[in-house]
Amino acid sequence: MKLKSIHVAVITLVFIFGGIALTSLLGMWKTTNDKIPAKYKDGEFAGQYNPADIRGSYTFNDISNAFEIPIEDLGKAFGVEDPAKYASFQCKELESMYALLAAEGKEVGTGSVRYFVALYKGLPIEVEEDTYLPKTAVEILKAKAKLTEEQIKSIEKYSVALPEVSAAFSVSASSPENATADRIIKGSTTFKDLMDWGVKKEAIEKIINDKIPDPGKTIKDYSSAKGLEFSTLKEPLQKLVDTVKK
């Protein structure tokens, strides 16, 4: 069998564009990473990725790529035990991992990752009152980031020791009070979850001062859509959940 250049030309084009078309149909063709945070629009940091836009679905690999932070630092900072899981670990997993700490008012979750990344890269960020960092994260920041005296004091104050964290996680996994412990409003909590926990629709609507748009929508997404801080709705709704528990 002999081929001429016209055959090679056609076969090459068919392979390349046919392959692209086929994988697009199968949903495999991706030329961008949809896990890219927004950039600062203006000011000194214009054009740089804004850690405040890190979402719960971002993996440590996404964050490492966007902010050029070694993945080991992220994994170790947040107490992920298996290094093989560093890359695929999603920020939102922290919220269930440290659920009991959140019940104590010390939240280690996506907000903590945002805070860690901002400090690591020397970028500005606003953090919520109850956002804590694991002690391991604080140590990494002290060793690798350029921190002011004030920042060091602040992260030391808002730090939780890892043994505490692990104990809390193991308790949350085995405690018979799990059902109660789980009723904590997190980034992934939807309006439907609240209603399933026994909170009345009307009571929720009174707090949000609006009709529930779609019960499947997360409270966090609803807050951002309305231009509100998550904590503005989370706190009164959590109180509501706690009253139902009692």
User: Which residues of this protein are in contact with another protein, per CB under 8 A?
Assistant: 1-6, 8-9, 11-13, 15-16, 19-20, 23, 28-33, 59, 61, 64-65, 68, 71, 84, 86-88
Handedness of CA 134, 139, 144, 149 (dihedral sign): positive
Minimum gap (Å) between residue 115 Cβ and another protein: 23
Neighbour tally for 110: CB within 10 Å:
25
Q: Residue 103 CB: number of other CB atoms within 10 A?
A: 18
Q: How far is the CB of 77 from another protein (least distance, A)?
A: 17
Nearest-angstrom CA–CA distance, 234 and 125? 20
Structure-token pair, residue 35: 């896990």
Q: Which is nearer to another protein, 4 or 157 (CB)?
A: 4
Nearest distance in Å: CB 166, another protein: 23
Which amino acid makes up residue 240?
L
Tell me how far, at minimum, the Cβ of 11 lies from another protein, in Å. Answer: 7
Nearer to another protein by Cβ, of 88 and 224: the residue is 88
Q: Between 6 and 143, name the residue whose CB sits nearer to another protein.
A: 6
Please say which residue, 77 or 108, places its beta carbon nearer to another protein: 77
- Dihedral sign for Cα atoms in the order 38, 43, 44, 46: positive
* Tokens 């922290």 belong to residue: 94
